[in-house]
A and B are shown apart, each in its own frame.
Chain A
Amino acid sequence: MTARRGLGGFALAALLIGYPFLDRALGLQTVHAVSDGMIYVLLALGLNIVVGYAGMLDLGYAAFFAIGAYAMGLLNSPVLGSPLYGYAWSFWLCIWIAAAVSALLGTLIGAPTLRVRGDYLAIITLGFGEIIPVAIRNLGDVTVEIGGWRPVERLNLTGGENGVNPVGRPYLPGVPFETDPVPWYFLILVIGLFSLWAMSRLQDSRLGRAWMAIREDETAADCTGVNPISTKLLAFALGASFSGFAGSIYAAKLQAITPGAFEFQVSIMLLCMVVLGGAGSLKGVILGAMLITLFDRVVLAEATFFLRWLGRSLGVPLLVTADLTLWRWFFFGLGLVLVMLLRPQGLAGRRIRPMLVPDTDDAVEVAPPPAPRVEAIPGWLRERAHRVGAAAGTGPILEVRGLVKRFGGIVALNEIDLVVPRGSIIGLIGPNGAGKTTFFNVVTGLVRPDGGVITFEGRPLAGLRPNAIVARGIARTFQSIRLFANMTVLENVLVGEHCRLRSTVPGAVFRPPAVMAEEARARERARGLLAFVGLADKDGDLARNLPYGDQRRLEIARALATEPRLLLLDEPTAGMNPRETETLTELIGLVRRELALSVLLIEHDMQVVMTISDRITVLDYGTRIAEGTPAEIQRHPRVIEAYLGTGYEPAAPGGAI
């Protein structure tokens, strides 16, 4: 298998290197076209970071292509009198400046889009995609006139409609960039291969996982310690820098840039490439880009020839004059529609298997989850717990005083006090709509409180974003499970470790020993956690394909991976069968006992709450109506009233309420 793959790789390399010579030998003269096509492949790969990995629909990506091309054009051309023009090293310097300028503008353009919803983000990028060509066109001849006074007169910033021409070529001793397309081919090939290599490494790194987590579920990613703002900005900046490279090569190769080359259609063609091949898959994007370029440059023209020949032979005048190249954009539009309808994951995208549904209800006995064992607790988690336990103070881990949250006229939380002593399990119960989940959302930073103080380990949490609160040491699960559905089980847990890992972009690409060690350790830890919650053999499955109970346990493993000191569980046993509930209850007790973890638990299963909670707080209509030990709570008249109405006789202690 590996031998065959090695052979395939060797053949591919031989083809890529030999192609221009083969082309010359056969007199095909296709090297120019192929090199241009490769520039588009590079662009599509950059767009894939934004659309495929980070899941942000960018409809104005051609703007960054334009910025790269104009950065090169303006710095390395005599048109505007740039001092850099005319040196042998100019191109090699300008290509980096162009990438940097594109990345900078990518960050600037990306910044305002970060807080808006997905479809709004698409429209904002489209807006920028429209504004930039307009600006390029109009900044070629700027005159500002304010009541007869002209502070700026006929200033040329961009070359305007005429564009920039000529642009300085790259220079290497003995290499004929002026006359021969072959050096261009190799230049683009080298840059393309390097980009591909860098991207494949990024994809499989801490940063790549963070992008995908954002794509799958931004809120859950935020609550798992991934900073959505910086993660998205990084995607924008990196995507833009790749198109900065592509744009600067394009400018130097074409020797002339005009604003018309960067319009909306170009963005859509690039989007077609990414979507057709399969967003998020490097192979897919390359395939998509090649297919579309081939279709655009070869198939349409050849099909037109064929149609005309057919028309002449059959004597159909309509066919004789047909010109399919006019239908180009029609076909791109049709292609987008068909791909989305028939194969939304793209040609090479990972096929999303249908959810596993047992054939009948009880014919298939799902293997019961293994009981949690003390020995299964990962050693690193235990060590950490002891270290932290020794250093920790004696005060409560979480202290909430007078917490208020209003939604319009409704008071969802009314002056709530709650204290979680270190190493305890506190139950939070109350009828539906009592404000329990809102309380969690406020503590984890998803919702801003209207009043009150939340103190975690003696320091206030006011104003922190969810990911910063996770970094402080509070992790949560969600009432309706929120996993990263199209990532593997292992990746889900690795995202949990995100805020405890350190690798950066250069680290992820070049993988120095420190990063390799960190990544290996992270994987080992993640596997340990999966074994602990009973998912040892499922680390390669997609999270969406797990049965319900496994998904619940995976969410807990992901929360534990953030190395929390306080764990918030929102109805962890909801929808589980009695057997699974029992195992999970044991698991919660175990982590508290062995890892000195404090737990705040929302739970409707009274058996569970009463068994494992040290103390219980009861909410009703946003107000705390009772607080005490399980035994006290079971006898508390207001609790009984809230759950059952008045006139109920208390049952024997220990029974379900």
Chain B
Amino acid sequence: MEWWEVLVQQTINGLTRGAVFALIALGYTMVYGIVELINFAHGDVFMLGLFISLAWFTLLGVTTTLGPWQLITILPLVFLLTMLTTALLNVSIDRLAYRPLRRSTRLAPLITAIGVSFMLENLALLWKGPAPIAYPDVFPSVDILREWFGVESAIFVTTKDILVVGATIPLMIALNYFVTRTRWGKAMRATAQDRETAQAMGIDVERTILLTFFVGGALAGAAGVIQGMYYNIGMWWMGYQAGLRAFTAAVLGGIGNMPGAALGGLVIGFLSAWSDQYISARWTNAIVFSILILVLVFRPQGLLGDRTPEKV
């Protein structure tokens, strides 16, 4: 491969990774925006999304590559079912572990979030065992450049890459519409700005928080389905890792800022892919966390966020 082909290939890899990070990061950023909690368990909801989608596929009898009709019937159905399951999971986590601590110190719910994260990870470990699980190759993989366009190139773009982008962009557009154009979205934005005032204006704050966890969980579930179909592998510990990278993305974009989370996801996707290629995959984690630390220390409002001074 020529050097530019390597770069293009890694950039495409970065794009697909980044799309998944962005979907997870949106859940972090929405929850943080509204209850100021780093939902540490969010990455594990994503991991469970992958496992749960596999269970839905199995229940629906899918074990091999989907045919054309199945792609427009079963695939959206599995997306929907998985998103619903993880959304409900996320909502129950909030109800059980975070809601009782709403008036407590800021660190108390963070500690419970870590506890929930451990519980979810170990439930997955006990459910599927410690070894990586194989995710069936349900989505057809076609080498687009060669088979559709007849171009001989070392660069490898498949229909799976199209799937990632094709599933992520509509989800983000839908989310953006939901948040900026609907009544519920308006309630969410108002609650994020000032919970007390929102309450005084007649917004049911607890229901709005519930809705936020619901939407965040659904996005994490979708990310889990995409991850499974793209990489065909799932590990019980992947949620921790992906969660931290996605959280880094959310912080990088400006925590609480939704376009920022999407942007941050892409940036982290590109950086991690390039780091794998040009430095060493062994160092990628250290590099991502260094970015996290540098952003938190030098630009805590992120790329797109606003600085909020402390009230005295």
Contact = CB atoms under 8 A, between A and B. Distances in A.
B60 interface: no
Contacts of A131: 285-286, 289-290
A344 B293 contact: no
Nearest to A338: B115
Interface stretch (A5-13, A117-125, A197-205): A117-125
A219 B285 CA distance: 35
Given A119-B110, A131-B290, A124 B296 contact: yes
B115 A127 contact: no
Given A57-B107, A271-B111, A130 B286 contact: yes
Interface string B89-110: 0000000010011001011111
A164 B158 CA distance: 45
A116 B301 CA distance: 11
Contact of B283 (A59, A118, A138, A341): A138
A181 B285 CA distance: 39
A150 B283 CA distance: 19
B244 A332 contact: no
Of the candidates B107, B115, B126, the one having the most CB atoms from chain A within 10 angstroms of its own CB is: B115
Contact of B282 (A123, A137, A446): A137
A330 B108 contact: no
A202 B92 CA distance: 43
B116 interface: yes
Contacts of A117: 300
A207 to B, nearest CB: 22
A135 to B, nearest CB: 6
A293 to B, nearest CB: 18
A337 B297 contact: no
Contact of A327 (B36, B37, B122): B122
Interface string A301-334: 0000000000000000000000000111110111
B118 A336 contact: yes
Contacts of A478: 312
Contacts of A326: 122, 125-126
B292 interface: yes
A327 B118 contact: no
B42 to A, nearest CB: 13
Nearest to B130: A326
Contacts of B37: 119
A332 to B, nearest CB: 6
Nearest to B241: A130
Of the candidates A118, A327, A341, the one having the most CB atoms from chain B within 10 angstroms of its own CB is: A341
Contacts of B108: 340, 344
Interface residues of A, number: 47
Contacts of A340: 101, 108-109, 111-112, 115
Interface in A261-296: 264, 268, 271, 275
Given A268-B114, A330-B119, A336-B118, A134 B283 contact: yes
A130 B288 CA distance: 10
Nearest to B97: A337
A547 B109 CA distance: 29
A469 to B, nearest CB: 14
B79 interface: no
Interface string A107-143: 0000011011111101110111011001101100000
Contact of B122 (A137, A264, A329): A329
B117 A130 contact: no
B190 interface: no
Interface in A77-116: 112-113, 115-116
A288 to B, nearest CB: 13
Contacts of B117: 333
B229 interface: no
B300 A333 contact: no
Given A122-B110, A219-B310, A128 B126 contact: no
Contact of B312 (A138, A271, A441): A441
Contacts of A437: 312
The main secondary structure of chain B at its interface with chain A is: helix
B92 to A, nearest CB: 13
A326 B125 CA distance: 9
B111 A336 contact: yes
B297 A124 contact: yes
Contacts of B119: 330, 333-334, 337
B38 interface: yes
A119 B107 contact: yes
A396 interface: no
Contact of A123 (B38, B109, B125): B38
Nearest to A120: B296
A116 B112 contact: no
Interface string A583-606: 000000000000000000000000
B123 interface: yes
A335 interface: yes
Contacts of B292: 123-124, 127
Contacts of A337: 97, 112, 115-116, 119
B124 to A, nearest CB: 10
Contacts of A219: 310, 312
A169 B117 CA distance: 39
A119 B114 CA distance: 12
Contacts of B121: 329, 333
Interface in A428-474: 437, 441, 446-447
B57 interface: no
Interface in B16-57: 36-38
B297 A116 contact: yes
B274 interface: no
Interface in B122-147: 122-123, 125-126
A333 B104 CA distance: 19
Given A134-B285, A337-B115, A127 B293 contact: yes
Contacts of B297: 112-113, 115-116, 124
Nearest to B122: A330
B240 interface: yes
A123 B294 CA distance: 12
A536 to B, nearest CB: 31
B286 A112 contact: no
B213 interface: no
Interface in A125-184: 126-128, 130-131, 134-135, 137-138
Given A57-B111, A127-B289, A337-B112, A330 B118 contact: yes
B247 interface: yes
A268 B112 CA distance: 11
Contacts of B296: 116, 120, 123-124
Contacts of B100: 341
Of the candidates B114, B240, B285, the one having the most CB atoms from chain A within 10 angstroms of its own CB is: B114
Given A124-B293, A138-B282, 6 more contacts: A119-B37, A124-B292, A134-B283, A335-B115, A340-B108, A344-B108
Interface of B: 36-38, 97, 100-101, 104, 106-112, 114-123, 125-126, 240, 244, 247, 251, 280, 282-283, 285-286, 289-290, 292-293, 296-297, 300, 310, 312
29 contacts: A57-B107, A122-B107, A123-B247, A123-B292, A126-B244, A127-B292, A130-B244, A130-B285, A130-B289, A134-B286, A138-B283, A271-B114, A326-B122, A326-B126, A327-B126, A328-B122, A329-B121, A330-B123, A333-B120, A336-B112, A336-B115, A336-B118, A337-B115, A340-B112, A340-B115, A341-B97, A341-B101, A441-B312, A446-B312
The 6 A-B residue pairs with the shortest CB-CB distance in the complex, in nearest-first order = A333-B118, A336-B115, A330-B122, A333-B119, A127-B289, A337-B115
Interface of A: 55, 57, 59, 112-113, 115-120, 122-124, 126-128, 130-131, 134-135, 137-138, 219, 264, 268, 271, 275, 326-330, 332-337, 340-341, 344, 437, 441, 446-447, 478
